[in-house]
Homo-oligomer: A and B are copies of this chain.
Amino acid sequence: MAPAMTSRIDVSRIRRIAINTGGGDAPGLNAVIRAATLAALARGWEVLGIRHGYRGLLDGADPKDLIPLDADAVRGITHRGGSILGTANKGNPFEFPVPQPDGTVLATDRSDEVLRNFRAHGLDALVCIGGDGSLRIAHRFVEKGMPIVGVPKTIDNDLSGTVITFGFDTAVSTATEAIDRLHSTAESHERVMVVELMGRYAGWIALNAGIAGGADVILLPEIPYDLEKVADKVRRREAAGRHFSIVVVAEGAKPVGGGLTTQGPKEVGREVLLGGVGQLVATEIARRTGKETRSLVLGHLQRGGSPTSFDRLLGLRFGAAAIRALEAGEVNVMVALTPPTVKTVPIGVALERLKVVTTSCDTVLTARSLGICLGD
Q: Which residues of A contact B (CB under 8 A)?
A: 24-25, 27, 29, 34-35, 38-39, 42, 52, 76, 78-83, 85-88, 163-164, 169, 172-178, 180-185, 187-191, 193, 208-209, 211-214, 243, 273-275, 294, 296-297, 299-301, 303-305, 308-310, 312-313, 316-317, 320-321, 323-324, 339-342, 361-363, 365-366, 369-371
The reply to whether A339 and B189 contact each other, CB–CB distance below 8 Å, is no
Task: Give bound CA distance, A182 to B243, whole Å.
Answer: 33
Which residues of chain B are near A342, meaning CB under 8 Å? 362
Q: Give the top 10 A-B pairs by smallest Cβ distance, nearest first.
A: A81-B184, A82-B184, A181-B304, A181-B305, A82-B188, A176-B309, A39-B369, A88-B190, A320-B366, A212-B312
Contacting residue for A25 out of B25, B86, B177, B184, CB 8 A: B184
A205 CB to nearest chain B CB (Å): 10
Q: List 13 A-B contacts (CB under 8 A).
A: A25-B185, A35-B370, A80-B184, A87-B189, A88-B190, A181-B301, A184-B304, A275-B275, A296-B299, A296-B301, A308-B308, A320-B365, A339-B339
Is the contact region of chain A dominated by helix, strand, or loop, or is it mixed? helix
Output the nearest chain B residue to A71 by Cβ-Cβ distance.
B371
The reply to whether B296 and A371 contact each other, CB–CB distance below 8 Å, is no
Contacting residue for A81 out of B42, B181, B305, CB 8 A: B181
Task: Give bound CA distance, A265 to B81, whole Å.
Answer: 40
Most chain B beta-carbon contacts within 10 A, residue among A86, A313, A341, A371: A313
Which residues of chain B are near A88, meaning CB under 8 Å? 188-191, 243
- In the complex where A184-B25, A361-B340 touch, is A209 in contact with B309 (Cβ < 8 A)? yes
The reply to whether A320 and B185 contact each other, CB–CB distance below 8 Å, is no
The reply to whether A25 and B189 contact each other, CB–CB distance below 8 Å, is yes
Which residues of chain B are near A214, meaning CB under 8 Å? 76, 78-79
Output the nearest chain B residue to A173 by Cβ-Cβ distance.
B309
